[in-house]
Amino acid sequence: MPKGFWFLFGVTFFVFVALLVFTYNFVSEKIPNFETMMFEPAENFVVKEDKEGKTIFNTNLGLKCQIPSDWQIEKNQSTGNLFLLPPGTTIEKEGQILKKGCLIGINAQKGIKEQLSVLQNTINSLKTASKKSNFSVVLVGEIEALKEENISFGLWEAQISIPYKENIIYFRAISSQAEKNECSQIFERFLDTVTLN
């Protein structure tokens, strides 16, 4: 083989290895630390019942909210989700899939600095935006939050994302498109009970 071939082969191999090392270093810096993305464990949501209904507390988050006593509560330990089921709501237990009614979920995650910043910037930009979209700014527990509403595959979904301290707290409502108005009203009444301190 001519010397030119080996020289070209050596240079190409060196460039390939250098690109591989550079790409590995670049990508590994961008991979988030999943420990910092941990979701709040479902067992941290404590429920107390009295004659006025059920009160849900989470002292780690500074969260308190109330639901009527006839609502059911389901905890999903693997995802940290707390599901609230008003009367008439049924879900498929194994898949946590809504069959009928209005399903409300609560979850929180330790926010990554960039996530919190993007969420807060989105909220700030929407406050001055004139264009209507499926995003809006709402107050929950006297704190500005991002609300997103969607309808797809016959399901209506609303999600509230609240940047609070070092966390992002999520409230979510899902219903069939036909039950959207009723579920939306139930969700709004529920959100009115939320306090954060």
**Residues 26, 11: Cα–Cα separation, whole Å:** 22
Q: In the chain, where are the structural domains located? A: 3-31, 35-196
How many other CB atoms are found less than 10 A from the CB of residue 59? 9
Is a pLDDT exceeding 50 seen at residue 183? yes
For position 136, what pLDDT does the model report? 92
Backbone angles phi, psi at 121, to 5 degrees: -65, -40
CATH number of 35-196, picked from 3.20.20.100, 3.40.630.30, 3.40.1000.10, 3.60.15.10: 3.40.1000.10
For position 16, what pLDDT does the model report? 55
pTM of the entire predicted model: 0.78
For position 6, what pLDDT does the model report? 54
Is a pLDDT exceeding 80 seen at residue 50? yes
For position 32, what pLDDT does the model report? 46
**Residues 30, 14: Cα–Cα separation, whole Å:** 25
Residue 31: strand, helix, or coil: coil
Phi-psi region of 144 (alpha: psi -120 to 50; beta: other; left: phi over 0): beta
For position 34, what pLDDT does the model report? 45
What's the pLDDT tens digit per position in 72-109? 999 888 888 899 999 999 888 765 678 899 999 999 99
For position 119, what pLDDT does the model report? 93
